[in-house]
Every structure is written in structure tokens, then in C-alpha cells.
Copies of this chain bind each other. A is one copy, B any other.
Amino acid sequence: MLTSVYIIAITAEAMSGALAAGRRNMDFFGVAVIAFLTALGGGTVRDILLGNFPITWTQHPLYIYITITGGLATIVLARFMRHLHQLFLVLDAIGLVAFTVIGCNVALRLGYDTVVVVMAGIITGIFGGIIRDIMCNRMPQVLRHELYASVSLVVALLYLALRHQGASESVNLLAAFSVGLLLRMAAIRWKLSLPVFSYAKSQWD
């Protein structure tokens, strides 16, 4: 089940990367690169930080083909994107939850400390978007706007708490996706965001 959700998730993330590349007028090759990095970059950073070699996508060529195809297909589909905006936000939220849970599981399997497990989940969830934004020379959006990284944190904590309570994996996944999607959708609907820290520029900036 999680695998099919993962396929949907990396496709949605690849498309989000392609749109960002399009906003920067990249060529078709650049679109494919950004799509790949947005979809698989978070898991790559996680694998490197956890020393989890070989890195996941190098053993699953299918994921490479899906993200590149998804990115290039977006060039054609872009004109319909605005109408699919709502659907897109839901798919992106599904991706965020799926990535978080998968990231936690990789770190759990490798026997890392709980705080590292939570970080592995969040890194998998948000670093694809951070790499996308760095490649497009803009501030990482996930650290500023409606709740996003925080949703990943809540999902990771909930998943580990239920697991610790002995909840079955299917119940736990149901809980993670329900809470994660509701929280993210509520954040978008009512523009919920964390407080912002504003520190004025000084002469030693």
C-alpha cells in the first residue's frame, strides 16, 4: 500500500519541481533535473546522512523514470495545472506524509536514536522542496509559509508514539495520513502558520 502511495507522491513532487523550473525558464533538461531532485532529493539526503548505502533510487530505476517522465509531462500539462490546483495540493500533502513515514522507517531499521528517527522523517519530507528552491535560487518556501515542515514533525511524532504503544502498522498509517492531511489542509484553508522570527538587518549582516 505504502509503495503505491509513494509512487503517487514522487510523481506529485516531480510535477511541483517541474513547475518551479518553469518559473525560472529552465530548458527541458533542467526541468527533468529539478523534477528528479524535488521528488528524490529528500530521500537521498536522508540516505547519505544515515549512511544508508546504496542509496534507494540507485536500486529502483523505476523511480528515476517516473520522476523524469512526470517532470517532462508537466510541460504539456502545465496549462491545466491551475484547474488541478486543489488536487495538486492534496497529492503534495499525501507525499509529505508518505515521505515522513518512510523516512522514519529507514532510520528505525538502522537502529538510530529516536530524535534521529524523527529528523530522518522530516528530512525525507521537506528536503526535496529545499533542494528545489536552492536550485531555483530562492529562499526555501517550506520554512516560511503555511504549516508544512511542522506537519511532518507532528506526523513523525504521532507515528512513533503509536508504534511505541503497540498499534498495528495499518492503524498507525491510517492515523498518520488522517492527521497529516487534515492538518495540512486546515493550514492551507485557514492560512495557519508558525510565528515568524524577524530580526532587523544590522551593519554586521
C-alpha spacing A64/B204, complex, angstroms:
27
- When C-beta atoms are compared, the residue in chain B nearest to A58 turns out to be B116
Q: Which of A25-33, A96-104, A166-174, A176-184 contacts B (4 or more CB under 8 A)?
A: A25-33
- By beta carbon, the residue of chain B nearest A81 is B199
Kindly specify which of A2-10, A135-143, A156-164 makes contact with the partner chain: A135-143
Cβ-defined contact, A144 with B27, below 8 A = yes
For window 1-60 of chain A, which residues contact chain B by CB distance below 8 Å? Answer: 18-19, 21-31, 33-34, 44, 48-51, 53-55, 58-59
Report the minimum CB–CB distance from A189 to chain B (whole Å). Answer: 14
Chain A contact residues, majority secondary structure: helix
Q: CB of A153 within 8 A of chain B?
A: yes
Rounded to whole angstroms, the CA-CA distance of A112 and B50 in the bound complex is 21
Q: How many residues of A contact B (CB 8 A)?
A: 64
Which residues on B sit within 8 Å (CB–CB) of A26?
143-144, 196-197
How many copies of this chain does one complex carry?
A: 3
In the bound complex, residues from chain B placing their C-beta under 8 Å from that of A58 are 49-50, 112-113, 116
Chain B contacts for A29, CB-based, 8 A: 143, 149-150, 153, 194
**Residues in chain B near residue A139, CB distance under 8 A:** 24, 136-137
In the complex, what distance in Å separates the CA atom of A28 from the CA atom of B48? 26
A-B pairs, 8 with minimum CB distance: A22-B199, A30-B143, A51-B53, A27-B194, A22-B197, A29-B149, A61-B115, A28-B194
Residues of chain A whose beta carbon lies under 8 Å from any beta carbon of chain B: 18-19, 21-31, 33-34, 44, 48-51, 53-55, 58-59, 61, 64-65, 75, 78, 81-82, 85, 112-116, 119, 130, 134-140, 143-144, 149-150, 153, 193-202, 204-205
